[in-house]
Chain A
Amino acid sequence: MTTATTSGHRAASPAPGYGFGAVALMEWRKLRTVRSTWWMVAIFAVAMIGLAIVALSHEGYRQLSAADRAAFDPTHDCFIGLVLGQLLVGALGVLVMTTEFSSGMIRATFAAVPRRPVVLAAKAAVLGAVTLAAGEACAFAAFAAGQASLAASAPHATLGQPGVLRAVVMAGAYPALVALIGLGTGALVRHTAGAICAVVGVLFVLPLLLAPFSASVQDASQNFLPHPMANAMTAVKPLAHALSPWLIFALLCAYAAAALAAGAWALTARDT
């Protein structure tokens, strides 16, 4: 009943028959059927929960000075596992993209779905969902295990206290954002080793390199480098010179979006 297009007319870019859901299902099946996915999630869980238990059971609250006692943050200290966990999910994000290039699978993928940004968006949706679910589950488990391991004499945190629930939820969201930064980096760099070096460099090495610098550089880094940002996001006792946790969280989301946008551009611009 619509005005019929003339037979000679051809739309510049007709809508494809496949939808985003179909492409996301492809990416879910790919992610699910590679063993390394589940190994990395399992090690991530062990790191998050195990390190929370180790850290809080050795807190030694009684030996702390008065100043250290005042600064003691029983919520934040549960998430020491993020130091290792972020590297695992970052690597998982990289591998989701780079193993396609190293194996040649990328050509089969782009033959099935020639719209490359759609492929990347589907990967981001599936990877983001899996790492968010794993991250939140492990963050709450690490929090519970950490509080249970803390000596009775030390102050304990509960989810009902102001800022605690926010800190735990953000500790669980941080890994998903790191995974997406890894995915975007993988699409940009294409080679596993190079992309993992880039991600580890930003997450792990850059904060170490800044250590010898003045306190003002250190204070600034917690507002713009991912892992120091995670520290600020998971702190319940406000840190000096840190932006609000929500602002830092928004900035980290912008990093992930920028990495994915750069990856989508690189996938579209380059030959495969």
Chain B
Amino acid sequence: MTGRRRSETVVGMTMIEARGLVKAYRSTKAVDNLSFEVRPGAVTGFLGPNGAGKSTTMRMIMGLDRPDAGQVRIGGRRYGDLRWPLREVGALLEAKAFHPGRTARAHLMSLAASNGIGRRRVEEMLALTGIEKAADRRAGKFSLGMSQRLGIAAALLGDPGVLLLDEPVNGLDPEGIRWIRNLMRGLAAQGRSVLVSSHLISEMAYTADALIVIGRGRLLAQTTVAQLSAHGATLKPGGSLEEAFFQLTEGVTDYSGGLS
């Protein structure tokens, strides 16, 4: 009994393990034999060009999409087998995952009910994300930035040990971007596992410690920002993290433009 209880309450124990994930839509493989680990206490950047399979992978972690092959475990369990999903995993998968006619407070109160989370926590999250003054407005009228904040409030409702954030800075103003960066770093510093996807390597340079780089659904590198940066410097004098990223993803981007 004690062993099981400990694994549920110690935040630092939870990690995500994906093994051989495959997901195909018609003939194209969105995710192709993808394995990786997300460790606690760090922000892990999930990086790849548009269409690399980041969102599909995140949906498979959440049990929303079923993999054609392979498996993913959170703290050793399938998402569907989590005892209190919202208290173990928080996710921001898209900016507007709410009914436009419902107020922000009503949206959070409904989700909270399902996992036995009280009104006080809802009020705290409204305050933390800075949307308490708009809490009784219909969420459909929210700007993209406020919608993202509501999504973050929903993700943090259950004080989860694992956070999945899909492109959280998209559409945010500079102040909002800085707020999310600090929030993610703070959450990781508390011992949580934070997986954040982006197609911008420059954004990852500010927030991520570890990096999972994918392209066309395949793992290109599981590395750290420091290592990739060091590799960039060897490519050419003054070479950067960006340089190394472009070398990694060369040939797996679907579209490329140029000035000739």
Contact = CB atoms under 8 A, between A and B. Distances in A.
Interface of A: 4, 7, 10, 13-18, 22-23, 25-27, 29-30, 33-36, 99-100, 103-105, 107-115, 271-272
Contacts of A7: 3
A110 B114 contact: no
B62 A30 contact: no
Contacts of A115: 80
A20 B111 CA distance: 14
A107 B83 CA distance: 18
12 contacts: A10-B77, A18-B114, A22-B115, A22-B116, A29-B106, A30-B102, A33-B106, A33-B109, A33-B110, A107-B97, A111-B93, A114-B63
Contacts of B85: 111-114
B246 interface: no
Interface in B48-102: 59, 62-66, 76-77, 79-86, 89, 91, 93-94, 96-102
A105 B98 contact: yes
A107 B110 contact: no
Contact of A23 (B76, B98, B100, B114): B114
Given A30-B102, A104-B98, 16 more contacts: A16-B82, A22-B114, A25-B114, A26-B110, A26-B113, A34-B99, A34-B101, A103-B100, A105-B99, A107-B64, A107-B97, A108-B154, A111-B85, A112-B85, A112-B111, A113-B85
A271 B62 CA distance: 11
Chain B CB count within 10 A is highest, among A15, A35, A36, A272, for: A272
Contact of A29 (B77, B100, B110): B110
A146 B77 CA distance: 60
A105 B150 CA distance: 12
Nearest to B112: A26
Interface string B133-175: 0000000000000000000001000000000000000000000
B111 to A, nearest CB: 5
A47 B135 CA distance: 35
A18 to B, nearest CB: 6
A16 B109 contact: no
A103 B99 CA distance: 6
Interface in B168-186: none
Contact of B116 (A10, A17, A33, A35): A17
Contact of A105 (B63, B86, B97): B97
B259 interface: no
Contacts of B198: none
A33 B108 CA distance: 11
A23 B106 CA distance: 15
Given A104-B98, A105-B99, A111 B91 contact: yes
9 tightest Cβ-Cβ pairs between the two chains A and B? A33-B106, A17-B83, A26-B114, A29-B110, A25-B113, A104-B97, A114-B80, A271-B65, A26-B113
B103 interface: yes
A3 to B, nearest CB: 12
Interface in B191-244: none
B96 A112 contact: no
A36 to B, nearest CB: 7
Contact of B79 (A4, A36, A114): A114
A35 B101 contact: yes
Chain B CB count within 10 A is highest, among A23, A26, A115, for: A26
Contacts of A33: 102-103, 106, 109-110
B66 A112 contact: no
A27 B82 CA distance: 20
A251 to B, nearest CB: 34
A34 B102 contact: yes
A26 to B, nearest CB: 4
B157 to A, nearest CB: 9
A78 to B, nearest CB: 34
B94 A103 contact: no
